[in-house]
Amino acid sequence: MITYSPSNKNDELVYIGSPEDLGAKTLSGSEIKLYARVDFGGGDLPLTTGLFEVTKGSFSFTYPFSELATLIEGELEITDESGNSVTYKGGDGRSWFISKGATVIWHVKSATARKSFFSATTDIDKRGTHQ
């Protein structure tokens, strides 16, 4: 069993680059750095879970996977394609789901924001049928 919580300060994350390295577009003037750790899956496998951390700034990202995530630390505002925004704070107990193909704007308000995630690259329609 793996527990994701703010008390796990020794979680080792690896630098994975900038938003552009993941196909995103930086919207703020500051340099944004991304870090991650994969605990299950990854690569060409259809399911992945782990931790992701990003430094302060804004970027637009079109998801190449569907993802369920929970902010563990920091403060983050996510804006969807319709202009709806939700602010998450680490420890508030709320999660979000973003469907594959959706474009969102991430605005990291704190020095860093860390989330746990579970992502799927398989195509699943709204009825839950694998395509």
**Structure confidence at residue 43 (pLDDT):** 83
Residue 2 in any domain: the answer is no
Residue 35 in any domain: the answer is yes
Residue 131 in any domain: the answer is no
Residue 57 in any domain: the answer is yes
Residue 98 in any domain: the answer is yes
**Structure confidence at residue 69 (pLDDT):** 97
Residue 3 in any domain: the answer is no
For residues 78 and 96, the answer to whether their CB atoms sit within 8 Å is: yes
Parent domain of 112: 14-120
Residue 4 in any domain: the answer is no
pLDDT less than 70: residues of the chain: 9-10, 124-131
Instruction: Give the total number of structural domains in the chain.
Output: 1
Total-model pTM: 0.89
**Structure confidence at residue 30 (pLDDT):** 87
Q: How far apart are CA 99 and CA 121, in angstroms?
A: 10
CA quadruple 27, 100, 79, 97: dihedral sign: negative
Q: What is the CATH number of the domain that holds 19?
A: 2.60.120.10
